[in-house]
Every structure is written in C-alpha cells, then in structure tokens.
C-alpha cells in the first residue's frame, strides 16, 4: 500500500514569560499550541532588533514607524514590516497576512494578523492588537 502525503498534527510548547511556578510541581509554567504561537508572534513584532541576547537581528523595527504620520501609506509599511518579520522568525506558521487600519484620531494603528499553523488542520488563526507610540 502506498504511503499518502498526510499532514500530521503537531504540538507546540513554550515557556511562559510570566515565570510563575506551577502550584503543584513548582516547575515553570508553559503555554501550549495556539497560545504558544500567538505569544511568539507578538514577541517577534514587539522585540526591537538588538534586544535579544545572542541574536541581534531578531525582532522588528516597527516602533520606528509609530512616530511617523498615521496614514494609509504608513499603515502599508507597518503591514509589510510585520509580515516580513513573522515570515523570517516564526517558522511554525504559514500563509501570513496582515491588515493594518490607520487610526489618526488615536494616533495609533489597529493590527490584525492572520496565519495558519503548520501541521494543524484547524481553521486559520488571528491576533489583533493596537500599535501606538508611547513616551
């Protein structure tokens, strides 16, 4: 019987950045599967290049664009930067698309990231957050 080309489901596990111990085992807590990947994607976007030890290129220069004029042209740059960063550093996802709404009245951008988890047969995933310049 020939072997079929099936995609098998994978499980993902990362350490929680809260570093709170598990109440019973006192081990570090973990985030699993979809939550682990959501956390990793947010870390890719919010980490500045040079902030991660031993990997100075890791991260996104997205904060530099937050002090520019909030308009559709800047929103397009923000979307391209986020998409390129995720495709470069988060290898557990595919079919990444980014929608960015410029919100000039709030001096912010609304960001929604859509992606598929490689090896997971469930529906597409999404993350939404607001990017705004802070002082």
CATH code of 86's domain:
3.10.450.40
Is 62 domain-assigned? yes
Residues 46 and 38: beta-carbon distance below 8 Å: no
Is residue 5 situated within a structural domain?
Answer: no
* Rounded (to 5) percent helix, strand, coil in the chain: 25, 25, 45
Number of folded domains that form the chain: 1
- Rounded Cα distance, 15 and 29, in Å: 6
With bands split at pLDDT 50, 70 and 90, how would you rate the model's confidence at 31? confident
- Looking at the domain assignment, is residue 3 inside a domain? no
According to the model, what pLDDT value does residue 124 have?
87
4 lies in a domain?
no
- Domain carrying residue 46: 13-132
Question: What percentage of the chain reaches a pLDDT higher than 90?
Answer: 39
Instruction: State pLDDT tens for residues 44-101.
Output: 999 999 888 898 899 999 888 888 888 888 999 999 999 999 999 999 899 999 999 9
* Predicted pLDDT of residue 80: 95
């Amino acid at each position: 019987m020939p072997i079929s080309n099936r995609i098998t489901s994978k499980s993902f596990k990362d350490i929680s950045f809260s570093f709170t111990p598990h109440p019973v085992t006192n081990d570090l807590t973990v985030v699993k599967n979809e939550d682990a990947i959501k956390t990793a994607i947010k870390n890719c976007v919010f980490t500045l290049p040079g902030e991660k030890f031993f990997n100075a290129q890791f991260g996104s220069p997205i904060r530099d664009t937050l002090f520019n004029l909030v308009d559709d042209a800047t929103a397009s740059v923000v979307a391209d930067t986020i998409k390129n960063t995720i495709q470069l550093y988060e290898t557990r996802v595919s079919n990444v698309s980014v929608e960015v709404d410029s919100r000039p009245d709030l001096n912010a951008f609304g960001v929604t990231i859509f992606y598929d988890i490689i090896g997971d047969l469930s529906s597409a995933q999404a993350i939404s957050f607001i990017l705004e310049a802070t002082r």
